[in-house]
Structure 1
Amino acid sequence: MSHADYLFINMCKDILENGVSTEGEKVRPKWEDGTSAYTIKRFGVVNRYDLSKEFPALTLRKTAIKSCTDEMLWIWQKKSNNINELNSHIWDSWADENGSIGKAYGYQLGVKHRYKEGLMDQVDRVIYDLKNNPYSRRIMTNIYVHEDLHEMNLYPCAYSVTFNTTKEAGSDKLKLNAVLHQRSQDVLAANNWNVCQYAVLLHMLAQVCDMQVGELLHVIADAHIYDRHIPIIKELISRPVYEAPSFWLNPEIKNFYDFTVEDVRLDHYITGPQVKNIPIAV
């Protein structure tokens, strides 16, 4: 099986067997019918993916690589907070009549800050440091900005990325690694989606900064399975698993802002059937 399948199955089993239920507690999320959406949760889940060995797409079911890349580029490349610039409907529930989700996600990455080298937003700062000061221990982004939380239609879930480079003996290139920090995650709906997004991001940044891709460490403070997702999860993790797909990234692209969803592809991607009509708590 792929390592992503192995981690996902074990994480779900751990949550189901050792997690804590929020049933009966005061919780914010609601189902579409207005009832409270309770979860089984585990605190402090950490998963490590070595992207130099395989791409971490689940084979239990298909992860739509172009759609998740599109959302990642909407945030990191377009630095947008408007769903009219996104080619999916996953943010519709949090958008206002103009399509805005408030001062959240891409908006925060696009805010320019003053550094001694000049004005840069957070994405350009990361690329600048990776190219000019790759051994820095200060290469990171953070979109959980407290003074703007009241103007965000949803507080950021995956809120910070810390980048770090390593170099193996005998190699002429640095390896680019990252830690993705997530305060909360709906494991069924979003886990592999987020993992694949940031795996693609790491591949893209490594390529444009003339590095090799390394490890992605995913740290989740509150990893949860919603009550109505439990039977779906149990069926999902009982399925057959397959070898990890191979990942293709257009080698001609050398500027991060030139990537499109057509520059990524998963080859030899064999999966179980898609899980459809997942209820989403909002």
Structure 2
Amino acid sequence: MTSHPHYEQQYLDLMQRIWTEGDERIDRTGVGTRAVFGATMRFNLANGAIPLLTTKRVYWKTATREMLWFLTGDTNIRELVKQKVHIWTDWPLDRYRREIGEDIDRDAFEERIIKDDDFAKKWGDLGPVYGKQWVDWPVFEPAGDGLYRKAEKGINQIELLIDGLKNNPGSRRHIFTGWNVAELDQMALPPCHKTYQFYVADGMLSGILYQRSCDLGLGFAFNVYSAALLIRMIAQQCDLEPGELVWNGGDVHLYLNHAELVEEQLARQPSGAPKFNILRKPESIFDYRIDDFEVTDYVPQSHISAPVAV
């Protein structure tokens, strides 16, 4: 009887290849990376499967809160930090330190974001990142005399996607993206997980995520879980079963200051098969709550910490 490799092994194999064979590059952050260009992984989502890494702990509730925040279209970190989600704080904090010259720590900065409306409005906003493009892509309407103004309501790509999947499942246009070229320079960070496409066959929904830039050591664990989560939510809304997640990476890299993380993770063996369950079907994809999701049989090895390159 032939046993199949653990779903995580393809990730570890890619990590090994990048660390030993990757092109060493100076990157935007100045930290430096080893990178390869073009990588693909496939994850089966049938029977409750979820691609959570087992060689280190992935805080799936934090990733879920982020996804729910994206779907609101919000671009201010305030609602995240209220939920003790810190993954977006480094960018506005770095901007505040540079522009004001105050060496404030993260906790003090987040406390001001929560308590001070004006401070949050000025320093907590990330620009038109992910969720803004997903659910409120800007459109312009005639204002007379050959002029145009931004419409009060933009295009909700997620709403259109779900409508298309329900009413025209065979379409090749089930796509949404966050890569709005006209607004990239206004974003704290241009979208890394930039384009999603979906495919229906035999009553199952599969999805491809194209990620232009992937920090394989830190970001990937959240990215792959979040993409699988999104497929599951959309599948439920469309009365489909989850099929497969295909992950495509463009510039896939490991930071040079992540040697300890890489070596520790490569020394570990993946094991186990966590299961994911949605406990309730809300009226729309915009009505899910954190308590609607359950992960069972997840017994990861210990967390591995590493610095985030901003």
Q: What TM-score results when the alignment is normalised by the length of structure 1?
A: 0.87
Q: CA-to-partner distance for each residue in 1:93-129, whole Å, 9 max, x for gaps?
A: 2236431110111111122578xxx974101011111
1:65 and 1:265 in contact (8 A); partners too: no
Alignment of 1:1-282 (within 5 A): 3-22=6-25, 25=26, 27-29=27-29, 36-52=30-46, 54-75=49-70, 77-86=71-80, 87=83, 88-95=85-92, 97-111=122-136, 120-167=155-202, 174-276=203-305, 278-282=306-310
Question: Which consecutive segments of 4 or more residues in structure 1 shift more than 3 A?
Answer: 1-4, 251-254
Q: 1-side partners of 2:199 and 2:86: how far apart?
A: 33
2:135 and 2:154 in contact (8 A); partners too: no
For 1:50, give the aligned amino acid: N
Helix, strand or coil at the partner of 1:136: coil
For structure 1, the 5+ residue unaligned runs are 30-35, 168-173
Q: Per-residue deviation at 1:264?
A: 1.2
Q: 1-side partners of 2:128 and 2:155: how far apart?
A: 18
Q: 1-side partners of 2:90 and 2:260: how far apart?
A: 25
1:60 and 1:236 in contact (8 A); partners too: yes
Q: 2-side partners of 1:260 and 1:17: how far apart?
A: 42
Q: 1-side partners of 2:290 and 2:239: how far apart?
A: 21
Q: 1-side partners of 2:252 and 2:165: how far apart?
A: 31
1:202 and 1:213 in contact (8 A); partners too: yes
Q: 1-side partners of 2:286 and 2:132: how far apart?
A: 16
RMSD over aligned CA atoms reads 1.9
**Percent of aligned pairs with the same amino acid:** 31
Q: 2-side partners of 1:104 and 1:233: how far apart?
A: 29
Structure number, greater radius of gyration = 2
Q: 2-side partners of 1:6 and 1:119: how far apart?
A: 41
Query: May I ask how many residue pairs the two structures share in their alignment?
Result: 262
Q: 2-side partners of 1:128 and 1:112: how far apart?
A: 17
Q: 1-side partners of 2:188 and 2:281: how far apart?
A: 38
Helix, strand or coil at the partner of 1:202: helix
Helix, strand or coil at the partner of 2:7: helix
Q: 2-side partners of 1:175 and 1:107: how far apart?
A: 28
